[in-house]
Every structure is written in structure tokens, then in C-alpha cells.
């Protein structure tokens, strides 16, 4: 029995007022796609089957190292975060799973938490460990790194934390552990670049050996930040080396913000897929670095090109291709529920557009070196307004045709601002 946070009547009334216009737009797009031999319902069904996980930490206002601007009604614990995730899923219907982060989401009763999530129509996705921050009372500091620290005791602590995350994840029904470490250096010569990777691999192997048989370990690389001279797992090359050394169930996770500017991320997708090591994504957008802006807000075309590779990979699967899709954003100036709904729509929209690409025509144009035709085949799909497909998919699953309008009409955040205790400023900056 699910107990959703927004009144079902409100959503139904909202949809009733918009149903006719949507049907009109959907039928019109359907006729247009039919002329290209595409059945709109088939695309809509693909969208309905597709989903992306939301990050528990993304339900709060993030911040920068300069400031955090709190918002009334912000969640301050995992229970409130789950409630917000339930709103995102209720209105958008493409985010049924939550990716938790430990120790941020620590509770005493994880079986109870899994039940609580189920009652909200949610389940848990990949568990994220945190060895980039010291916690109160922690025996050893991560100042020298974590899995790659020069201190054996610190490495051991980081290993144990990751193993604990796996144990928690088992109780939550999760099937993957995402490991991102901030390990690296700020000065040339600070650490030996080779030995730090050796230490990382040795520690990561111990985490991997604690992995249940049906779990995946996802390694998330990041070029820089918090370390600004070198990072131990800085790029997809280092990530691939590590995943290959660690074992079959270890794969690479691509966070779209973790690359050098202008890097061809879609090609990285193709390369990791070739190696059978494409494990998952953290979707977000960026202009300068790991900006963690809303997915598709800066470069929607890049997001589309990533999905173009993903649809190619889906058609030519290797090594049990089944990436874990997650959002990883930091919202500083918007209501995180609105941002996450907007991103989920942008991501699903790119999946829908990539599904519209005439693959036979594209491959033929590629084989015959008809450059313009190949380019226009992709561009035609990218330029298609798939909004009616996404809205119809939401409507048919009980979500809101106009999620922003319905959310604002529900006054959910205002109600939470009355109920929830305010966020302590200075706390929770991630």
C-alpha cells in the first residue's frame, strides 16, 4: 500500500484540464513520426520502461565552498529526503529508485527504511560511500587520502567503511556500490603517482572481495577537485585499468561533469562499452568543471549524443550491458524537487530522441561516407520535440502532464516549511 505525498485528486484534476490538448499534440506527432515509419506508442512504451535513480543528497540545497542558501522546507534526514523523492516519482514517474549516501543517510533500522521507501513507491539504487570527508569521532583522517592513503590504518578504515556500505545496501535491497574517492595531491612530488594507484588497487580489491555475487562495484573517476594537481582515479583510463584489474563485477561510472572541458564524453561511453565495462552514469551538466548543474541545462546536445551511444550499445550489448543510471546534481538556487523533475525529463527526452534515430539510414550513411546524410539523420531525431511522448508516458502512469504546474499547485514545499525544522546553516554543504 503506497502513501503518496501529493493528493491523487489534485493530479487527476490537473491532468483532466490538460488531457485533450495533450492528445491533440500526441496524435499530431504520431502522424509525423509515422511518415518516417516510427510507431509513436512504441517510443512511449520505451520511455515508460526507462528510469533513472535520484540521489538522496540532491533533495537538499547544496552549496558552494562560499555559501549555502537554505530553503524553507528542506529535508534534514533520510526520511524527509525519501518523502521528497516520492514527490519526484509521483509527478514524473521515471525515478522510482533512490541512491543513498553513507554516512549521510545513516539510520538504526535499515530494514525499516526499505519498508518506508516501499510505502512511498520507492526502492534503493546504488549505495555511495563517503571517504572524502572526516566524520565526527572518526579514528583516522582522510587528509592523506582514503583507499590510497600512505597510512595503512586510514586505508583500512576506508575499506571497512565501504564494506559497511555494502552491508547496509544489502538490507536496503541495493545491488551496487559506487566508489568515488577524492584521493590525490596538490603538489608535484607530494605522492608517488604510481604507488598511490597501487595502494588504491590493493584496498579496492579488499572491498571488491566483500561484494555479493549479484552486486556491481562502480568506480567513478574525476579529473580534479578536491585535489588539484593529481587525482588517483582521474580519468576513464585509470578507471578502466582499475575495473579490469579488480574483476568482472567491477565497472566504470561516468559522471558527466568529471572530465576536462570539451572532452568527447560520448566517445568514452563507446570505449567503455567496447571493453564491457560501462557500469553507470551520474547525470548532471556543467560549463566549467564539476558544476553539478541540472542535466541538459547547459548542453542538451551532448546529453543526446551520450544517449545515441547508449542506444547503439543497447542494440549491440556486451558483457550484460545494463548501466545504472543516476542523477548527481547540486541545487543552489532552485527547489531541488523541481530541478530533479526537470532533469529526469531532460534525460528521458534524450533517450526518446536517441530512440528515434533511423539506425539503418545512419549506418548506411556512415558506411558510404555520406557525411551530411549521417549528420542530418542524427540531427533530425535531436530536433524532434518529444514533449508529448514524455507527457503521455507520465499521464498513463499516474504522473502529472505538467509536473511544474501540479507541483506548485500542491504547495508541497510551503507545507513542509511549516512542518520541518530548518536546516542549520553551515551544515550539510557537499
Q: Which does 128 bind (CB under 5 to 8 A by kind): Zn ion, ligand AOS, none?
A: ligand AOS
Distance CA 257, CA 241 (A): 21
328 binding ligand AOS? (CB under 6 A):
yes
> How many CB atoms within 10 Å of residue 205?
16
68 is a contact residue toward ligand AOS (CB under 6 A) = no
Q: Binder to Zn ion among 255, 266, 338, 345 (CB under 5 A)?
A: 255
Please report where in the chains the cell 520502461 appears, as a residue: 49
Q: Which residue of the chain is nearest ligand AOS when measured via CB?
A: 180
Instruction: Single out the residue of 59, 128, 149, 355 in contact with ligand AOS (rule: CB under 6 A).
Output: 128
What angle, 0 to 180 degrees and rounded to 10, lies between the N-to-C axes of helices 78-92 and 403-410? 130
429 binds ligand AOS (CB under 6 A): no
Contact positions with ligand AOS (CB under 6 A) in 218-237: 220, 222
Q: Which helix (H) or strand (E) holds 387?
A: helix 387-396
| CB of residue 258 to Zn ion, shortest distance in Å | 6
Q: In angstroms, what is the minimal distance from the CB of 217 to Zn ion?
A: 15
Q: Whose grid coordinates read 531532460?
A: 346
Neighbours of 127 (CB within 10 A): 27
Alpha-carbon distance of 409 to 11, in angstroms, equals 9
In the set 84, 183, 290, 338, which binds Zn ion (CB under 5 A)? Answer: 290
User: CB atoms < 10 A from the CB of 300, how many?
Assistant: 16
Q: Which of 80, 84, 105, 290 binds ligand AOS (CB under 6 A)?
A: 290
Map the footprint of Zn ion across residues 325-364, applying CB under 5 A: 328
- Between CA 322 and CA 310 the distance in angstroms is 10
255 binds ligand AOS (CB under 6 A): yes
- Distances in Å between the Cα of 395 and the Cα atoms of 93, 354, 390, 401 are 9, 22, 9, 6
Q: Which three cell numbers stand for residue 237?
A: 583510463
Residue 201's contacts (CB-CB under 8 Å, 6 or more residues apart) are 242, 245, 246
Locate 52 and state its grid cell: 533513472
* Longest pairwise C-alpha distance within the chain: 66
CB of 430 to ligand AOS, least distance (A): 4
Pick between residue 169 and residue 388 the one whose CB is nearest to ligand AOS: 169
Under rule CB under 6 A, residue 215 binds ligand AOS: no
- With helix as H, strand as E and coil as C, how does 250-305 read? EEEEEECCCCCCCCCHHHHHHHHHHCCCEEEEEECECCCCCCCECCCCCCHHHHHH
Q: How far is the CB of 128 from ligand AOS (least distance, A)?
A: 5
Q: How far is the CB of 261 from Zn ion (least distance, A)?
A: 14
Question: If binding is defined by CB under 6 A, does position 57 make contact with ligand AOS?
Answer: yes
The answer to whether residues 397 and 47 touch, using CB atoms and an 8 Å cutoff, is no
Shortest distance, position 180 Cβ to Zn ion, whole Å: 6
Does 259 help bind ligand AOS (rule: CB under 6 A)? no
d(CA 204, CA 366): 41
Stretch that binds Zn ion, among 283-291, 342-350, 364-372, 387-395 (CB under 5 A): 283-291
Closest distance to Zn ion from the beta carbon of 291 (Å): 7
Minimum Å gap between C-beta 162 and Zn ion is 16
- What residues make contact with Zn ion under the rule CB under 5 A? 255, 257, 282, 284, 290, 292, 328
- What residues make contact with ligand AOS under the rule CB under 6 A? 57, 128, 180, 220, 222, 255, 282, 290, 328, 430
Amino acid at each position: 500500500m503506497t502513501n503518496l505525498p501529493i493528493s491523487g485528486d489534485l493530479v487527476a484534476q490537473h491532468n483532466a484540464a490538460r488531457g485533450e490538448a495533450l492528445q491533440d499534440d500526441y496524435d499530431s506527432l504520431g502522424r509525423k513520426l509515422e511518415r518516417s515509419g516510427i510507431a509513436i506508442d512504441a517510443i512511449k512504451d520505451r520511455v515508460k520502461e526507462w528510469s533513472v535513480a535520484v540521489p538522496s543528497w540532491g533533495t537538499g540545497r547544496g552549496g558552494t565552498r562560499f555559501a549555502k542558501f537554505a530553503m524553507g522546507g528542506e529535508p534534514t534526514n533520510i526520511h524527509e529526503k525519501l518523502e521528497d523523492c516520492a514527490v519526484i516519482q509521483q509527478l514524473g514517474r521515471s525515478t522510482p529508485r533512490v541512491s543513498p549516501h553513507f554516512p549521510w543517510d545513516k539510520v538504526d533500522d535499515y530494514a525499516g527504511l526499505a519498508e518506508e521507501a516501499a510505502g512511498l513507491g520507492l526502492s534503493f539504487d546504488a549505495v555511495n560511500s563517503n571517504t572524502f570527508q572526516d566524520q565526527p569521532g572518526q579514528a583516522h583522517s582522510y587528509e592523506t587520502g582514503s583507499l590510497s592513503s600512505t597510512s595503512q590504518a586510514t586505508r583500512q578504515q576506508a575499506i571497512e567503511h565501504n564494506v559497511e556500505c555494502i552491508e547496509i545496501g544489502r538490507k536496503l535491497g541495493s545491488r551496487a556500490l559506487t566508489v568515488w574517492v577524492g584521493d590525490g595531491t596538490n603538489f608535484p612530488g607530494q605522492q608517488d603517482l604510481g604507488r598511490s594507484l597501487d595502494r588504491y588497487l590493493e584496498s579496492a580489491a579488499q572491498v571488491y572481495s566483500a561484494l555479493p555475487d549479484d552486486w556491481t562495484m562502480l568506480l567513478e573517476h574525476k579529473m580534479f577537485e578536491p585535489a588539484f594537481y593529481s587525482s588517483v582515479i582521474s580519468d576513464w583510463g585509470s578507471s578502466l585499468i582499475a575495473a579490469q584489474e579488480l574483476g568482472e563485477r567491477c565497472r566504470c561510472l561516468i559522471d558527466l561533469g568529471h572530465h576536462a572541458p570539451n572532452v568527447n564524453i560520448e566517445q568514452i561511453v563507446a570505449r567503455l562499452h567496447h571493453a564491457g565495462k560501462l557500469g553507470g552514469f551520474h547525470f548532471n551538466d556543467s560549463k566549467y568543471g564539476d558544476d553539478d548543474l541540472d542535466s541538459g541545462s547547459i548542453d542538451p546536445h551532448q546529453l543526446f549524443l551520450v544517449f545515441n551511444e547508449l542506444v547503439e550499445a543497447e542494440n549491440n550489448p556486451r558483457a550484460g550491458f545494463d548501466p545504472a543510471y543516476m542523477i548527481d546534481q547540486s541545487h543552489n538556487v532552485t527547489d531541488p524537487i523541481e530541478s530533479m523533475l526537470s532533469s529526469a525529463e531532460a534525460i528521458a527526452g534524450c533517450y526518446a530522441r536517441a530512440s528515434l534515430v533511423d539506425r539503418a539510414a545512419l549506418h548506411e550513411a556512415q558506411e558510404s561516407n555520406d557525411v551530411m546524410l549521417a549528420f542530418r539523420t542524427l540531427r533530425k531525431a535531436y530536433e524532434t520535440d518529444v514533449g508529448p511522448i514524455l507527457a503521455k508516458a507520465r499521464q498513463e502512469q499516474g504522473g502529472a502532464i505538467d509536473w511544474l504546474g501540479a507541483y506548485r499547485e500542491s504547495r508541497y514545499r510551503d507545507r513542509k516549511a511549516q512542518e520541518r525544522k530548518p536546516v542549520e546553516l553551515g551544515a550539510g554543504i557537499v
